[in-house]
Amino acid sequence: DTEVTQTPKHLVMGMTNKKSLKCEQHMGHRAMYWYKQKAKKPPELMFVYSYEKLSINESVPSRFSPECPNSSLLNLHLHALQPEDSALYLCASSFRVGLETQYFGPGTRLLVL
Amino acid sequence: KQEVTQIPAALSVPEGENLVLNCSFTDSAIYNLQWFRQDPGKGLTSLLLIQSSQREQTSGRLNASLDKSSGRSTLYIAASQPGDSATYLCAVRAEDNFNKFYFGSGTKLNVKP
């Protein structure tokens, strides 16, 4: 299994809603990442987890809250988002941080109304 | 701060042509460089990973080269096909911080049948 899966594929939420994005991999990778990608722009790193511990937070607003319950699962909890947070949210994983290929999921397309 | 530039931003070629995509980076202190393709609205697919000590990597019709000292990488695609149409992104990982992964803004390739 060389796949990173993300659910849901699409999400529409209001500014007062609370929702979560989910990412899963079963490749035994111990590094997992969240990226945000706006249209026609490259992905921007948001968070990095290494061995289930948060190792990087790229000054992301607190309305985004990551969680890594176990080595296969990564969540991104969303609360009180703004319309400018609408984007494609990509999850990636690698065997270890830094040294190997990153494998990306298909992304969750988020629209905040 | 590392800046990654990809030229051209867009490229349209007839099927069967060989083509070269360019990636340049301002800080040569990189650990590795990775090439990805991204189809519209989708996640990233890893194509090739070149470690800083390597000069090139090949996979099928793809060949990526790296000249670390001059801050350049090229992705060569032989005998292009319409299925190669996508956005191609390069990303470099900083030598002093494996968590940092800097993306270029991509080259959008259209291969015409």
What average pLDDT is seen over chain A? 92
pLDDT tens digits, one per residue of A70-89: 999 999 999 999 999 999 99
Residues of chain B with pLDDT under 50: none
Number of H helices, E strands in chain B: 0, 11
The verdict on B41 touching A (C-beta cutoff 8 Å) is yes
Provide the residue count of chain A.
113
pLDDT at A2 over 80: no
Length in residues, chain B: 113
From the candidates A21, A46, A99, which should be mutated to test the interface with B, based on the most B CB atoms within 10 A? A99
Tell whether B64 lies on the interface with A, counting CB pairs under 8 A. no
8 Å CB contact of B103 and A48: no
Chain B residue whose CA is closest to A99? B98
Radius of gyration over every alpha carbon of chain B, rounded to an integer in angstroms: 13
pLDDT of residue B36: 95
Q: What is the pLDDT of residue A91?
A: 96
Q: Which residue of B has its CA nearest to A110?
A: B41
Of B89, B99, B105, the CB nearest to A56: B99
What pLDDT, on the 0 to 100 scale, is given for residue B1?
82
> Are residues B43 and A99, on separate chains, in Cβ contact within 8 Å?
no
pLDDT in tens, A41-69: 899 999 999 999 998 787 899 999 999 99
* Chain B environment of A41 (Cβ under 8 Å): 105
Q: What is the pLDDT of residues B47-65, one digit of tens each?
A: 999 999 999 999 999 999 9
Count Cβ atoms below 10 Å from residue A6 Cβ, excluding itself.
Answer: 21
Whether B95 and B52 have beta carbons less than 8 Å apart is answered as yes
Residue A99 clears pLDDT 70, i.e. is over it: no
Q: What is the CA radius of gyration of chain A?
A: 13
Residues of B in contact with A88 (CB under 8 A): 41
Min Cα–Cα distance to chain B from A100, Å? 8
Helix or strand or coil: residue A26? coil
